[in-house]
Structure 1
Amino acid sequence: MAAPAEMNTADISATFIMNKTLSDSTDKVLELQGISWFKRKAISIATITLHVNHYKDDAGVEHIDIKQTLTGGIEGNIENRTIDGVQREYKDGLFGDVISKTRRVKVDELEHEFLKTGWISETIEPGVIHSYVVSDEAKSGRQWTAEQAWGFETINGEKRYVRHLRFTSGSTLIEAKLIYDYVTLPIESWFLKKTRLLARSWLMLLFGAAYIIALAFLVRAQWFTIPAESFVGCTSTYWGKDDACGLNGEACAPFDNSTFDFRCPAQCSSVILLNPRTVGAEQVDFIPLVVGGGNSGNASFPGSYRGDSFLCAAAVHAGIIDDSRGGCGRVTLVGTQGPFQSVTTNGITSVGFPSFFPLSLRLSHTNALRSCTDLRNDALAFNILCCCLIFFLFRPKPLVLYWCLVCIGYWHVIFFSQPAGAPPAISDAFGTFLPTLFICHAFWEVAFRHVLPHFSKMPLERAVWYIGGFWPGVLLNIITDKIPIDRLVASDISQRPGAVVSLIIIVVVLVGIIINQLRVIRKTGWLSYYVKAYIITGLIILVLALLPGLEFRLHHYIAAMLLMPLTAFPTRLSAIYQAFLLGMFLNGAAAFGLDSILQTAAELQRDGPAGTQIPSFFTNSKNFNGSIPLHDQLLRWNGFPADNLNEAAWDGFSLLIDDVERFVGNAFNFSLGALDTSVPHFFRLAFQKDGTSGDYTQAATVFPNGTWVDPLPGPS
């Protein structure tokens, strides 16, 4: 594990474990110092840990106290060094009688080149710690000199605590580097010792099998104990937008005398409209669509909702289900109702509508369905607990640990946190799973294999950085719920309040993180390679973005792929970043699939205006005669545009009255004789081609007192 970026030789207080893979062999040195073969063999197979306490006494003199322990907590040497350059005699527990002195010096003051080279600024600026130890030949009968320089240097791209050892005995000269892993918590070694019996492959296999069985029961309880047709999504409605229900709403019949028992998922109050929706004359956006719910004034049907309300959000609004746990309810269709009053309850403010609507609904509790609770929170706790057990106790090889994260995170999104359907289509999930595994393999090769193995001796710290970073990424839809950005598309960002400010904050934070990572990369010598790679990637993206008829779409799973290579350096921040990016990638891939990075404008449109021509009303506030009774009035509109001559020409009109399609044809007027004169009415008009409507106008309004209000410009 790399030492902290801020650590230098002014204070080396920490716990270090000798990395024998990176360090040079010292067996010959120990032999010349008189250490027996048995002791040398024990030292070669033991894990050597240094517990370093670096401090100054009341006189300002530096001291470094070092306690060595071997595998299993066996106590080794204890060294108490005074950094003052004074020669002292003492009896070493391993090497016998020696004479030593320790001082802090500038690197260029050292005599031998081996002791002077390789150091980084964290050693050069405060000075290297120089240790000089010779055997007391008169007492020990041996003659040797061990000269060391202690400090920090970059080893394989990592900042490491290193000791340069220059050993001489007679004519023999040995130069060796001793390289150490940085350990933050002394409890790590104790924890490794206490739980080492659990870190067995066969226990991990048993746990994996038990996990799959437990997950199967959780998935069954979540999705397969009630009929599939009883599940509804957060945007399920009985009535579609604009003309989706056809003339007079016939495609959405029946309008009354029908009941249905349903189950809603949790967190539906956070599912909102992402394009403007017209309710009467009002344009609503970025809220759950709930129309009505207040006391309508009709004692027979209190609390009715308009039929195009989001069913689950309306159930939360009515207090039928708990938004955090989901639940079951019963909907009863009650036909034409109105007006619909706005009311705020259970965290949702409904939209008012002052006219009548042909399909209305009431909500009530039901006992017809069982297993109504959404188990996503239970599944989250279960999966986090399993991750903790794997990280803390079973501690498989880093590669196995990585694939555990990938599989647990992916299937959690599929089944619980953000399922694509109700119940989720498992065949589609497996279809995405294979390419997801391929990309995750690339993540391992590019980033994780350079970082995750370095935490193998620190299970507690590894769990904090990786589990703590991974799950916020997996639950990206929840942690970003209050950020007013849905897609990184210019049209979306420009029309949503607060989106620009949020984007600026995100960019500033992201730039800060990238700059810090580039600083780490620069120290490893890889900066030029990364700069070239990202310049080439940027040019490719620029070319793709300029392709005619297509728009570049930066899905968040793609953002994770682009940023992942920046985390391929063994620091704690890199561990957090790569865990978060892995979770973010899995969230995008599992919830939405591996969507194309190039999309057409129509694919980005959703249910918003398509940008077509819109007609205009001939009837307006200047020529409307409010003194004539409404049942004797004709609503008139102007004809087709002058350029309506080609094969794609409009051939008809669609008229919405009170958000219900009441006329389809090529006439230029419509009788208002059937309208109720006690409530206001709202008119919207669109061109049609072969039965397909273009964009509708904004709503023109006529009030019961005969007042006509012209529509606002633009589409609805």
Structure 2
Amino acid sequence: MEAALSSSSSYTHTNSDFLDKSRSKLRQSACFEIETPSPAAPWYKRIDRSLASRFPWLHQQTVRFVRYARGPRPKVNLSEPKPFLHFTINLGRRSYSLELESALIRLTRPFTSPWLLLLLGAVYVIGFSFFARAQSFLTPASSWVDCTSVYWTENDGCGLNGLECAPFTNSTFDFRCPAQCNLVVLQNPRTVGNEQVDFVPYIVGGGDGNKTYRGDSFICAAATQAGMITNSKGGCASLQLVGNFTNYLGTAANGLTSIGFPSVFPVSIQFDPSTPLTHCTDIRNPALAFNILVTCLLFLFLRPKPIIIFWSLVCIGFWHITLFSQPRANPPPIDQAFGTFLPTLFVAYAFWRLAFRFTLPMFSKAPIEAAVWYLAPFWVGVLTNLTFAKIPIDRLTASDLTKRAGAITALVIILIVVVAIAVNQVRVIRKTGWLPYYLGWYILGGLVTLVIALLPGLQFRLHHYIIAMVLMPGTAWPTRLSAIYQGFLLGLFLNGVAAFGFDPILQTAADLQRDGPSGSALPTFLTNSTTYNASIPLVNQTIHWGELPDSGDGWVGFSLLVDDVERYAGAALNYSLAALQAGIPHFFRLAYTAGDDTGDFTMAATLWPNGTWVDPLPGPT
């Protein structure tokens, strides 16, 4: 019985073990039989595989280029530049080390105290304030005139017969001019009789014995040519109105050339050097020397932290432009300056974070080099109105580039230089492994700019302060060339915002027009070289023009300029020449009017003393 039980128990255990092993095998088998689908490869890997299978050579070259452009992995940092002014001289078996940078650091260590910097900073602010006061605020504000100030405004700006610009004679005015007015030129063609002048200081006359100028000449340029003031220091003089004058003679003197005008004009000006005004000398050049000296002291002797040097450059450059080298008006509008200064500081902080903090500290052991690499290009950028004055480019617009001689050539040269600089910077950035990052941001910025530039009714304007903002991030590397670029771009940015403000990147055609033609419709003279009868005396002559157009532009009348003075305004279709002086040439220009608005004037029709009528050339004035 026991044996039977034992056998039965053994059988039961055997079956149990068999079942357990079977279940285990089933579980393992089930584990292998249930398969989850593998995830699909990313789209770029699928494209890569497709290109590799279809175009193996192209795929291989593309991979090589991408790996080259990507640069090293992991990213690397460039080493600090070694000072140029550390020399080792070998004389036979002996060698001598000449470390000028280290010697300067050692000798000037007593001047690097923060307290001394604070004291000298206070002294600088006080001294700079006295400079600014002597420059602009000791002369009565009403006596200041700008480089483009005139007594008589162009075309019909003085109204019928010029009555809005009276008096014409027996009046004097004491005035003060700033320096460097010789560099201020016309930016749109100005018509004088049957001639047009452009891109020169606007001066008519001055060639007679009394140095008589037409009343619409630039006052400061005419006074400089007459020898009353100097271009480098400005000055004060007295303007005298002498009324009607005939046959203004052109001349050349003191670096300026004027044009002649063979007809009559109701207002003429002469100059007298005697004036009660004081503090007339423009001291922008001494102020420039003072500020350059201060920035050199910062780099070479005081040597504060790099961020303090950076903010010192920002403040010194901005206020030098605002108060001395390129003020927006005279005396400088301080309220406008402070309105621009705050956003300037925000942009400057971005410059520090994106570029300067990676480069300027690397030259802390080479103060002489830092002063050379940063200060020279910085002041070149700050004084852009002087350093780039000879480049025939004022605005990067198609109309400006095509109408000024040499502008396209200058632009091509500038683009070649910029591309060469950019290629070198790309080479440097690739060495660090950051090229894909920077390239991505610049491509994105370019696409956004392209979209903005295509907005209807607006024109894209690349101001020079925007150029500095765009290029600055690409200089964030510890190289000497990056230091040079940073100094120049900072000065260029400060010049743009301090002198002109943050002009918009998009502007309307009216914003860009200035005093140039608007493109309006032009009237037509019916009197021409064929219909004019020279045998009729001038006192009996009448000129005629066509009727108003039916185009719906709203024109209701005409404005007629005779010898550059508005002599008729109304809806008539003719004008009598009975009041004109015989024996001299006369010039006629015509425009449509609508209320207080005047369209473009025609080119001048000319009536010569011998009775010859010359038709106007096509185009507006």
Partner residue of 2:346 out of 432, 438, 444 = 438
Tell me what 1:204 maps to: 117
Deviation at 1:691, TM superposition (A): 2.7
Say which SS state the counterpart of residue 443 (structure 1) adopts: helix
Give the Cα–Cα distance (whole angstroms) in 2 for the partners of residues 511 and 596 of structure 1. 25
Give the Cα–Cα distance (whole angstroms) in 2 for the partners of residues 181 and 683 of structure 1. 68
Read off the aligned partner of 1:437 and give its amino acid letter: L
Tell me what 2:88 maps to: none
- Residue 593 of structure 2 corresponds to residue 693 of structure 1: no
Read off the aligned partner of 1:243 and give its amino acid letter: D
- Residue 575 of structure 2 corresponds to residue 662 of structure 1: no
- Residue 108 of structure 2 corresponds to residue 220 of structure 1: no
Equivalent residues of 1:679, 1:703 under 8 A apart: yes
Equivalent residues of 2:144, 2:331 under 8 A apart: yes
Tell me what 2:386 maps to: 478
Tell me what 1:500 maps to: 408
Tell me what 1:284 maps to: 197
Tell me what 2:83 maps to: 183
- Give the unaligned 5+ runs of structure 2: 1-71, 86-98
Give the Cα–Cα distance (whole angstroms) in 1 for the partners of residues 116 and 369 of structure 2. 22
Equivalent residues of 1:329, 1:366 under 8 A apart: yes
Partner residue of 1:462 out of 370, 386, 403 = 370
Tell me what 2:179 maps to: 266
Tell me what 2:304 maps to: 396
Read off the aligned partner of 1:564 and give its amino acid letter: M
Deviation at 1:476, TM superposition (A): 0.7
Tell me what 2:143 maps to: 230
- Give the unaligned 5+ runs of structure 1: 1-152, 161-179, 297-301
- Residue 531 of structure 2 corresponds to residue 618 of structure 1: no
Equivalent residues of 2:238, 2:275 under 8 A apart: no
Say which SS state the counterpart of residue 594 (structure 1) adopts: coil
TM-score under structure 2 length normalisation: 0.85
Higher relative contact order (Cα pairs below 8 Å, separated by 6+ residues): 2
Give the Cα–Cα distance (whole angstroms) in 1 for the partners of residues 602 and 442 of structure 2. 46
Partner residue of 1:609 out of 514, 517, 523 = 517
Give the Cα–Cα distance (whole angstroms) in 1 for the partners of residues 135 and 170 of structure 2. 30
Tell me what 1:574 maps to: 482
Give the Cα–Cα distance (whole angstroms) in 1 for the partners of residues 164 and 75 of structure 2. 68
- Residue 151 of structure 2 corresponds to residue 246 of structure 1: no
Say which SS state the counterpart of residue 311 (structure 2) adopts: helix
Deviation at 1:361, TM superposition (A): 0.3
Deviation at 1:529, TM superposition (A): 1.1
Q: Percent of aligned positions with the same letter in both sequences?
A: 59
Aligned residues: 537
Give the Cα–Cα distance (whole angstroms) in 2 for the partners of residues 564 and 417 of structure 1. 24
Read off the aligned partner of 2:132 and give its amino acid letter: V
Deviation at 1:159, TM superposition (A): 3.6
Deviation at 1:424, TM superposition (A): 0.8
Tell me what 1:559 maps to: 467
Deviation at 1:367, TM superposition (A): 3.8
Read off the aligned partner of 2:412 and give its amino acid letter: I
- Residue 331 of structure 2 corresponds to residue 423 of structure 1: yes
Deviation at 1:207, TM superposition (A): 0.8
Give the Cα–Cα distance (whole angstroms) in 1 for the partners of residues 288 and 389 of structure 2. 17
Equivalent residues of 2:242, 2:270 under 8 A apart: yes
Equivalent residues of 2:83, 2:369 under 8 A apart: no
Map of 1:334-373 to 2, 5 A cutoff?
Answer: 334-373=242-281
Equivalent residues of 2:362, 2:478 under 8 A apart: yes
Read off the aligned partner of 1:345 and give its amino acid letter: A
Say which SS state the counterpart of residue 288 (structure 1) adopts: coil
Deviation at 1:155, TM superposition (A): 11
Give the Cα–Cα distance (whole angstroms) in 1 for the partners of residues 527 and 401 of structure 2. 36
Give the Cα–Cα distance (whole angstroms) in 1 for the partners of residues 574 and 204 of structure 2. 30
Read off the aligned partner of 2:359 and give its amino acid letter: V
Give the Cα–Cα distance (whole angstroms) in 2 for the partners of residues 512 and 630 of structure 1. 65
Say which SS state the counterpart of residue 589 (structure 1) adopts: helix
Read off the aligned partner of 1:224 and give its amino acid letter: F
Say which SS state the counterpart of residue 222 (structure 1) adopts: helix
Higher helix share: 2
Deviation at 1:325, TM superposition (A): 1.1
Give the Cα–Cα distance (whole angstroms) in 2 for the partners of residues 629 and 245 of structure 1. 30
Read off the aligned partner of 1:272 and give its amino acid letter: V
Say which SS state the counterpart of residue 355 (structure 1) adopts: strand
Tell me what 1:331 maps to: 239
**RMSD of the alignment, in Å?**
1.3
- Residue 439 of structure 2 corresponds to residue 531 of structure 1: yes
- Residue 617 of structure 2 corresponds to residue 704 of structure 1: no
Partner residue of 1:587 out of 489, 495, 498 = 495
Equivalent residues of 2:204, 2:260 under 8 A apart: yes
Equivalent residues of 1:469, 1:579 under 8 A apart: yes
Q: Report which of the two structures shows the higher radius of gyration computed on alpha carbons.
A: 2
Distance 1:262 1:290, change over 3 A: same
TM-score under structure 1 length normalisation: 0.74
Read off the aligned partner of 2:83 and give its amino acid letter: V
Distance 1:157 1:320, change over 3 A: farther
Distance 1:391 1:256, change over 3 A: same
CA-to-aligned-CA distance 1:107-136 (integer Å, 9 cap, x gap):
xxxxxxxxxxxxxxxxxxxxxxxxxxxxxx
CA-to-aligned-CA distance 1:284-337 (integer Å, 9 cap, x gap):
1011000000117xxxxx210000000000011111111111111111000011
Equivalent residues of 1:157, 1:569 under 8 A apart: no
Tell me what 1:275 maps to: 188
Distance 1:697 1:336, change over 3 A: same
Give the Cα–Cα distance (whole angstroms) in 2 for the partners of residues 249 and 256 of structure 1. 13
Equivalent residues of 1:240, 1:308 under 8 A apart: yes
Say which SS state the counterpart of residue 182 (structure 1) adopts: coil
- Residue 304 of structure 2 corresponds to residue 409 of structure 1: no
Tell me what 2:4 maps to: none
Give the Cα–Cα distance (whole angstroms) in 1 for the partners of residues 400 and 143 of structure 2. 33
Equivalent residues of 1:234, 1:310 under 8 A apart: yes
Give the Cα–Cα distance (whole angstroms) in 2 for the partners of residues 154 and 292 of structure 1. 71
Distance 1:216 1:617, change over 3 A: same
Equivalent residues of 2:377, 2:488 under 8 A apart: yes
Deviation at 1:580, TM superposition (A): 0.3
Deviation at 1:677, TM superposition (A): 0.5
Distance 1:495 1:193, change over 3 A: same
Say which SS state the counterpart of residue 356 (structure 1) adopts: strand
Equivalent residues of 1:682, 1:701 under 8 A apart: yes
Higher strand share: 1
Deviation at 1:382, TM superposition (A): 0.4
Tell me what 2:96 maps to: none
Read off the aligned partner of 2:599 and give its amino acid letter: G
Partner residue of 2:588 out of 657, 675, 683 = 683
Deviation at 1:436, TM superposition (A): 0.4
Deviation at 1:200, TM superposition (A): 0.8
Give the Cα–Cα distance (whole angstroms) in 2 for the partners of residues 640 and 529 of structure 1. 62
Give the Cα–Cα distance (whole angstroms) in 2 for the partners of residues 384 and 476 of structure 1. 15
Tell me what 1:649 maps to: 554
Deviation at 1:184, TM superposition (A): 2.1
Say which SS state the counterpart of residue 575 (structure 2) adopts: strand
Say which SS state the counterpart of residue 244 (structure 2) adopts: strand
Map of 1:5-20 to 2, 5 A cutoff?
Answer: none
Give the Cα–Cα distance (whole angstroms) in 1 for the partners of residues 373 and 73 of structure 2. 23
Say which SS state the counterpart of residue 82 (structure 2) adopts: strand
Partner residue of 1:513 out of 405, 410, 421 = 421
Tell me what 1:147 maps to: none
CA-to-aligned-CA distance 1:429-479 (integer Å, 9 cap, x gap):
000000000000000000000000111111111111111111000001111
Read off the aligned partner of 2:587 and give its amino acid letter: F
Say which SS state the counterpart of residue 183 (structure 1) adopts: coil
Give the Cα–Cα distance (whole angstroms) in 2 for the partners of residues 341 and 210 of structure 1. 52
Tell me what 2:290 maps to: 382
Deviation at 1:158, TM superposition (A): 4.2
Tell me what 1:194 maps to: 107
Deviation at 1:366, TM superposition (A): 2.0
Read off the aligned partner of 1:660 and give its amino acid letter: V
